[in-house]
Amino acid sequence: MPLHRFYYAQGLFSAQDKQEITDRITKNYTDLNLPAFYVIVVFIEVPEDSIFIGGKPATNFVRVVSQHLSRTMDSYEGKQAILDFLEAAFAPYVKDRGLDWEIHVEEHERELWRTQGINPPLPNTDAEKLWAKENKAIPFQ
Amino acid sequence: MPLHRFYYAQGLFSAQDKQEITDRITKNYTDLNLPAFYVIVVFIEVPEDSIFIGGKPATNFVRVVSQHLSRTMDSYEGKQAILDFLEAAFAPYVKDRGLDWEIHVEEHERELWRTQGINPPLPNTDAEKLWAKENKAIPFQ
Amino acid sequence: MPLHRFYYAQGLFSAQDKQEITDRITKNYTDLNLPAFYVIVVFIEVPEDSIFIGGKPATNFVRVVSQHLSRTMDSYEGKQAILDFLEAAFAPYVKDRGLDWEIHVEEHERELWRTQGINPPLPNTDAEKLWAKENKAIPFQ
């Protein structure tokens, strides 16, 4: 459900960094009782001459694009909470290392979403709880 | 119009797989009388240490992000039909090979869309039919 | 704020082309008094066998996906003005070289957007003017 794409110049993150960032992001969602397998993280590394901020090569910058499908946030406070938890997840690898960053979250329509060919269950239903417990998509009524 | 991005770990698809997946997706749209050149497919392959599902390296997983501009689906049934036809297009290369997958479709605004510098014609107009027949963008009134 | 992703087959643009395209895009926004550092451009180059248009390898084609967060365009005319200025920015490197292209602009929600951990100021506020003048994110009330 949440799809997180990180865009940055090659070399900013090691394989271990990527694993740890992902672990921290994933935990955010499992702490909310979402199935772990909903959380997809993709690191899209480009050459230093292929990413720019303000007209300059962005050698010190990470751009995050996050997409949510399972949950939407109606209130300003809810939206900030999402941003807070995502920024906290990657802060040790970005802010704390002196990198610059920018993030936005998009909310897309759950009726146009499927995993393993199944429209995922609504939030907090028994089916979603089972998916979280078993950590896989299971057909349901 | 439809832009389909496939994210996955390097090596899951051969060049021939990519061509065949694309052929099958494209046919879905031309069968609906859309111009073939509307259909863009991009395969974004990343190293195995750069894509994760549920906190684990996603070595067996394909994440599809599709964007529609020319048509929007208002009903639940119409939305499922789109997902059905897209999943059927890549099933022989994904589901039938035992890969996991997830897809969502986004609908974006056609007034903020241009191909070859032209705002494309409305659905089922004579201009769209001509674009489909000639398979190129042609200025129209 | 504006995030521009260019998808195309490897080799279509040189490092200098990428810098110049970026310069021209960035100037569009700074001419509107937006902070330069809002403008992110990412060139995502894929092998020739990984991008298709109309079922054929897209060796001569550029697909641009632009995302706006700071400003939205309510009128048809405003939307066309955005497309005009973006297409003009890359025309010398695309249209004038005989490449094909397609672009769409998405408008996403500013309350789900942060740069350097800060929700950016509203359009044309004193804070935004300061961000533009200093070309960096500065905490504000």
Segment B17-60, tens digit of pLDDT: 999 999 999 999 999 999 999 999 999 999 999 999 999 999 99
Q: Is A44 on the interface with C (CB under 8 A)?
A: yes
User: Given strand A51-53, what is the order of strands in its sheet?
Assistant: A56-57, A51-53, C40-46, C3-9, C61-68, C100-107, B113-115
C15 touches chain A (CB under 8 A): yes
Looking at the domain that runs over A2-134, which CATH code has it been given?
3.30.429.10
Inform me whether the C-beta atom of residue A69 falls under 8 Å from chain C C-beta atoms. no
Query: Per-residue DSSP letters for C23-87?
Result: HHHHHHHHTTT--GGG-EEEEEEE-GGGEEETTEE-TTEEEEEEEESS----SHHHHHHHHHHHH
pLDDT at B125: 97
Bridge partner residues of B105 (DSSP): B66
Q: What is the mean pLDDT of residues C59-85?
A: 95
Helix (H) or strand (E) holding A104: strand A100-107
- B77-129 pLDDT, tens digit per residue, is 999 999 999 999 999 999 999 999 999 999 999 999 999 999 999 999 999 99
Are A102 and C135 inside 8 Å of each other by CB?
Answer: no
How far is residue A25's CA from residue A129's CA, in Å, rounded to a whole number? 20
Looking at residue C69, its pLDDT comes to: 94
Cα–Cα distance for residue pair C10/C13, rounded to 1 Å:
8
- Sequence spans of domains, chain A: 2-134
B21: its two tokens: 């997946």
What is the per-residue pLDDT for B113?
97
Confidence (pLDDT) at C71:
85
Alpha-carbon distance C136 to C130, whole Å? 8
Dist. CA B1–CA B69, nearest whole Å: 5
User: With an 8 Å Cβ cutoff, are C40 and A63 in contact?
Assistant: yes
What is the per-residue pLDDT for C65?
98
Residue of B nearest to C51 (CA): B42
Contact between residue C62 and residue C7 where contact means Cβ atoms under 8 Å apart: yes
Span A48-89, pLDDT tens digits? 999 999 999 999 999 999 999 988 899 999 999 999 999 999
Q: What is the pLDDT of residues C92-117, one digit of tens each?
A: 999 999 999 999 999 999 999 999 99
> Which percentage of chain A shows pLDDT scores above 70?
99
Predicted confidence band of residue A1 (pLDDT cuts 50, 70, 90): low
- Position B1 scores a pLDDT of 67
What is the percent of chain B where pLDDT is above 90? 96
Q: B51 - beta bridge partners?
A: A42
Q: Which two tokens stand for residue A87?
A: 């920024």
| Burial group, residue A133, by CB count within 10 angstroms (0-12, 13-18, 19+) | exposed
The answer to ipTM > 0.90 is yes
List CB contacts (< 8 A) between B44 and chain A. 44
For residue C1, what pLDDT is reported? Answer: 67
Supply the pLDDT for residue A132: 98
Q: Is 90 exceeded by the pLDDT of residue C141?
A: no
| Residue A71 confidence (pLDDT) | 85
Q: Is B112 in contact with C79 (Cβ distance < 8 A)?
A: yes
Report d(CA A59, CA A98) in Å as an integer: 12
Given this model, what pLDDT does residue B70 score? Answer: 83
Contact of C97 with chain B, judged by CB distance below 8 Å, is answered with no
The rounded mean pLDDT for chain B is 97
Contact assignment for C40 to A50 by CB distance below 8 Å:
no
Q: For residue B133, how many other CB atoms are within 10 A of its CB? A: 11
- Number of Cβ within a 10 Å radius of residue C39: 22
